[in-house]
Amino acid sequence: MNIIFAGTPEFASVALARLLAAGFRVPLVLSQPDRPAGRGMKLQASPVKQLALEHHIAVAQPRSLRLDGKYPDDAAAAREAIEAARADVMVVAAYGLILPQWVLDVPRLGCLNIHASLLPRWRGAAPIHRAIEAGDTETGVTIMQMDAGLDTGDMLLEERLPIRAEDTTGSLHDRLAVLGGRLIVEALEIAACGGLTARKQPLEGVTYAHKIEKAEAAIDWSAPAETLARRVRAFNPFPGAATALAGEAIKVWTARAEDTASGRAPGEVLAADAQGIRVATGAGVLVLTELQRAGGKRLAVADFLRGFALAPGQVLDAAPPRVEGS
């Protein structure tokens, strides 16, 4: 099979690496334009582009694929490259651009998407974050035949994966990326034999995984401790749950909930020692165990408290300034 691959972040590069290792021919890769990143804000190629260049694969980086959109020249150049590739199928994984109908129609077998959820639950941009935030006990990967809707296409292959109690978005992402790479290889091998069976998505159980906004990082101490513990895990590594004391921003990277009545106002520090910083919430107590000051490193709570005085009775703020460089 000739495959065009469209993807941008690490999740997608894992799938591309698996396809290449399986011997599929990939004459063209689509990826988002280089973006400023790091402290120096220098332009940086996406993980998918870096991998493609290592394998001497042609890369197209259109700002849009809409021929009648804001960047028609980009779209026209991309169309020429896509048509020249004579692909049997396009594989899409966390690409970041909407595919117009003309793209869906070019490959003989259409476009297959690697989606990190059990559709129709968590359609959209942030399925891994939202599954953890919601307290789901399982997720998975769906290989889907793309159509013009938002993750509404027919399901071709699916595999479930448990969400562990300690999972962060980072750890769950890595396991789902490996699963997605394996499933897309399986799907293409089955498709080569004409054996893929499409199933319509159920009409019930549709939820949307809206994009994560940085403003969501602020810890609202009036929420229940269990809710906050899930958000800390869901927002690790991005954007990182955050609070503040006396105007100084603090990121919270790990925490656990205790179903204990404190009788204190939300945000009040109940205790601070090597076992954790216990903070009153709207219901229960949140115990903070790994934290980071602005410009500092992530530290276990015992190390954090050596350089940051925190005493019972102090109150953490709900809406901190952003922690730069983290």
Taking the C-alpha atoms of residue 218 and residue 322, their distance in angstroms, rounded to an integer, is: 9
Residue 323 has pLDDT above 60, yes or no: no
Q: Give residue-wise pLDDT tens across range 140-185.
A: 999 999 999 999 999 999 999 999 999 999 999 999 999 999 999 9
C-alpha torsion sign, points 190, 194, 200, 202: negative
pLDDT of residue 326: 45
Percent of the chain at pLDDT above 90? 89
2-209 fold: Rossmann fold (3.40.50)
204 CB contacts (<8 Å, ≥6 apart)? none
pLDDT of residue 31: 98
For residues 272-295, one letter each, b for 16 or more C-beta atoms within 10 angstroms of the residue's C-beta and e for the rest, the string is beeebbbbbbebbbbbbbbbbbbe
Kindly report the average pLDDT of the chain as a whole number: 95
* Beta-sheet pairing, 285-293 with 2-7: unpaired
Per DSSP, helices labelled H in 9-100 are 10-21, 47-54, 72-85
What's the average model confidence in pLDDT over 275-296?
96
Among 167, 288, 277, smallest CA distance to 230 is for 167
pLDDT of residue 318: 61
Q: Give residue-wise pLDDT tens across range 41-100.
A: 889 999 999 999 999 999 999 999 999 999 999 999 999 999 999 999 999 999 999 999
* Pair 180, 159: CB distance under 8 Å: no
319 band by pLDDT with thresholds 50, 70 and 90: low
Q: Where are the domains of the chain?
A: 2-209, 215-306
145 CB contacts (<8 Å, ≥6 apart)? 110, 111, 112, 113, 153, 154, 155, 156, 198
247 band by pLDDT with thresholds 50, 70 and 90: confident
Q: Give residue-wise pLDDT tens across range 9-22.
A: 999 999 999 999 99
What's the average model confidence in pLDDT over 283-298?
96
Could you tell me how far CA 137 lies from the centroid of its own chain? 17
Taking the C-alpha atoms of residue 58 and residue 25, their distance in angstroms, rounded to an integer, is: 12
DSSP state of 112: E
Taking the C-alpha atoms of residue 218 and residue 165, their distance in angstroms, rounded to an integer, is: 22
Q: Give residue-wise pLDDT tens across range 216-227.
A: 999 999 999 999
Question: Where is pLDDT greater, at 262 or 121?
Answer: 121
Q: How many CB atoms lie within 10 A of CB 157?
A: 20
pLDDT of residue 147: 96
* Pair 160, 116: CB distance under 8 Å: no
Q: Which CATH number fits domain 215-306: 3.10.25.10, 1.20.1090.10, 3.40.50.11900, 3.30.2020.30?
A: 3.10.25.10
